[in-house]
Structure 1
Amino acid sequence: MLISPADTDFSQAAYWLVTRGDQLLLDANRQLPWMPADELFVSYYERRVISLGKLGGQPVFMVDISQVVLAPEQPVNYYSLMDIVKEFDWPLETTAYAAKAVQFQHFLQTHKFCGRCGKRMQAISWEIAMQCKPCQHRCYPKVHPCVIMAVVDGDRILLARSKRNKTGLYSILAGFVEPGETLEQAVAREVFEEVGVEVKNIRYFGSQPWPFPHQLMVGFVADYAGGKITIDEKEISQAAWYNLADLPATPGYYSIAGQIIESLIKKQALLGKA
């Protein structure tokens, strides 16, 4: 991340990530605005504009709506990052820029003051950081590692509904990694804490940055090793075994949970044909 220098040419067309909380301003076609700054804004403060890099060879800039005044002819269409991730068929690189913009702005808004001495912090111009000049304390955006895991037993998968989940979907289990433990230890601990069963043969599937707000989801598949489902009622409302050929509504492919579930369904289908 770079604070745009004074000689940045804003007269050329660029992609703009204009944030409003966890929302982004999109054009009439539900795409990122691509135009010169003077067409998008009536006024803007150049030193509040942040360069994120390039997309398709074109510059990408980020700015919070509080730092600009939109041109009156521009459509005011804001969409949440979750809507963009779940519903929009954007290229992965474009979605990644959208996630970065929301997370960076969240970081800037929540690190205005130093956690050590309380003085106002300033954005570093050459990297993603905020620094306190009086005490030299520097902060970087936090990434919180989470494990997300499918527990399988032959052609069955353990699915649960979180009390925090308002969608009604069933999904695989997940939880934050605690200090001092490996990812595999976190998998075993979270499964036991949430549903009371033990696992074995824990294997890595893949990872996904999940910007709600700063998580990195690390996916695993584990085999059932024993125990009866006993849910943690503070976290889980329901949990049960389901046949991979007959599942309830689960997350889509936009999430690593959906990707893991789909891969297991395909694997089981191939085994059935063998």
Structure 2
Amino acid sequence: MADSSIYKSYSPAIVPRDDDNELVWMFIFNSNKILIKGEPEYPEIPTSEDFKGIELSFISKQYLGELDGYACYCMEVEDLADAPLGMCFKDLRALLGLVAEDKFLLMGKAFQIVNWNRMNKFCGRCGAMTEPKHNELAKLCPSCNSVYYPRISPAVIVAVVRDGKILLAHNKNFRPKWYSVIAGFVDPGETFEDCVIREVMEEVGIRVKNVKYFGSQPWPFPDSLMVGFIAEYESGEIIVDGEEIDDANWYGRDNLPPRPTNVTIAGRLIESVLFG
């Protein structure tokens, strides 16, 4: 997990440099889809060079900082906007594993900021139109001075281990026969470790102990931060809740069902526990 970083070639900033002549990276979104160029198997982020002679109207535009030394922005277009010739709008989730991890993390950040801009045009307290703060990534209400930051929803994801096997479960929202580790959102007042213990008990009816931090992964669908743990089985028998989880069992390396790949923290947890 230590190699997962958005900052390999990206430097965040709030205020752009005063230079209109440089190349600009353009993270353009239509709903939950991002505009890409190139072959489907090798998607690339378009730049200002790709838009010479092309007019595209943006609902919102937000400076992100610099990628490989060049400015980058995230933008939103109308839902009915067409992709320019040689480009296409593609579901962001489908790009996981097709682009370098640090670039995908930046795509995810851009996606979250576009959603944040869309959802915070008006103050939730007084209804006035918000304005960007000049010195930080935030929106300010000029009427009541309320400040709104990009939303991040923390969630835990945990590999539960027992006698060399891992607990995997099928969520009702998964495709058939697809299994993963237990996950859930953190409640107010909980530590991450509290949340691990509660979520495992609620979803599969067992108690865990020795909860240890593993790593984390931003998950922009729409605004999660997945915080990973490994825990040991303590007691109880598997009883699925029937609401989110409809099946769960213990699996070893020789009988694993279809599951997440290592581009996700879920896949990395499974790999770490069973294959070291």
Confirm or deny a common fold (TM above 0.5). Answer: yes
Q: CA deviation at 1:8?
A: 4.5
Task: Supply the distance in 2 between the matched residues of 1:206 and 1:172 (Cα, whole angstroms).
Answer: 14
Counterpart of 2:138 (choices 126, 129, 133) is 129
Cα deviation digits, residues 164-194 of structure 1 (max 9, x gap): 2236410000111111111111111110010
Structure 2 residue runs without a partner (length 5+): 1-12
Q: Which residues of 2 match residues 229-248 of structure 1 at below 5 A?
A: 229-248=238-257
The 3-state SS of whatever aligns with 1:151 is strand
The 3-state SS of whatever aligns with 1:252 is coil
Do residues 189 (structure 1) and 198 (structure 2) align? Answer: yes
Cα deviation digits, residues 248-273 of structure 1 (max 9, x gap): 11101111000010111213xxxxxx
* Residue identity matched to 2:37: D
Task: Supply the distance in 2 between the matched residues of 1:187 and 1:64 (Cα, whole angstroms).
Answer: 36
Q: Which has the larger radius of gyration?
A: 1
Task: Supply the distance in 1 between the matched residues of 2:212 and 2:244 (Cα, whole angstroms).
Answer: 24
Moved more, 97-106 or 159-168: 159-168
The 3-state SS of whatever aligns with 1:244 is coil
Native 8 Å contact 2:253 2:275 kept in 1: no
- Measured at CA, do residues 3 and 58 of structure 1 come closer, stay the same or move farther in structure 2, by a change above 3 Å? closer
Task: Supply the distance in 2 between the matched residues of 1:70 and 1:221 (Cα, whole angstroms).
Answer: 45
Residue aligning to 2:52: 39
Q: Which residues of 2 match residues 10-159 of structure 1 at below 5 A?
A: 11-29=21-39, 30-36=43-49, 39=52, 41-42=54-55, 48-66=60-78, 74-85=85-96, 87-88=97-98, 90-159=99-168
Higher share in helix: 1
The 3-state SS of whatever aligns with 2:78 is helix
Do residues 200 (structure 1) and 209 (structure 2) align? Answer: yes
Q: CA deviation at 1:123?
A: 2.4
Cα deviation digits, residues 89-129 of structure 1 (max 9, x gap): x2222112110111000001011111101112122233221
- Measured at CA, do residues 120 and 193 of structure 1 come closer, stay the same or move farther in structure 2, by a change above 3 Å? same
Using the aligned pairs only, state the percent identity: 36
Structure 1 residue runs without a partner (length 5+): 268-274
> TM-score scaled by structure 2?
0.86
Residue aligning to 2:235: 226
Cα deviation digits, residues 34-64 of structure 1 (max 9, x gap): 234751742557x953221111122212211
Native 8 Å contact 2:166 2:274 kept in 1: no
The 3-state SS of whatever aligns with 1:49 is strand
Residue aligning to 2:5: none
* Residue identity matched to 2:109: K
The 3-state SS of whatever aligns with 1:42 is coil
Do residues 163 (structure 1) and 172 (structure 2) align? Answer: yes
* Residue identity matched to 1:217: M
Task: Supply the distance in 1 between the matched residues of 2:133 and 2:204 (Cα, whole angstroms).
Answer: 45
Native 8 Å contact 2:138 2:147 kept in 1: yes
Cα deviation digits, residues 181-211 of structure 1 (max 9, x gap): 1111111111001000011111111111111
Task: Supply the distance in 2 between the matched residues of 1:38 and 1:81 (Cα, whole angstroms).
Answer: 21
Native 8 Å contact 1:205 1:221 kept in 2: yes
* Residue identity matched to 1:177: V
- Measured at CA, do residues 118 and 3 of structure 1 come closer, stay the same or move farther in structure 2, by a change above 3 Å? farther
Question: 4+ residue stretches of structure 1 with deviation over 3 A?
Answer: 1-5, 35-38, 69-72
Q: CA deviation at 1:154?
A: 1.4
RMSD (Å), alpha carbons: 2.3
Residue aligning to 1:270: none
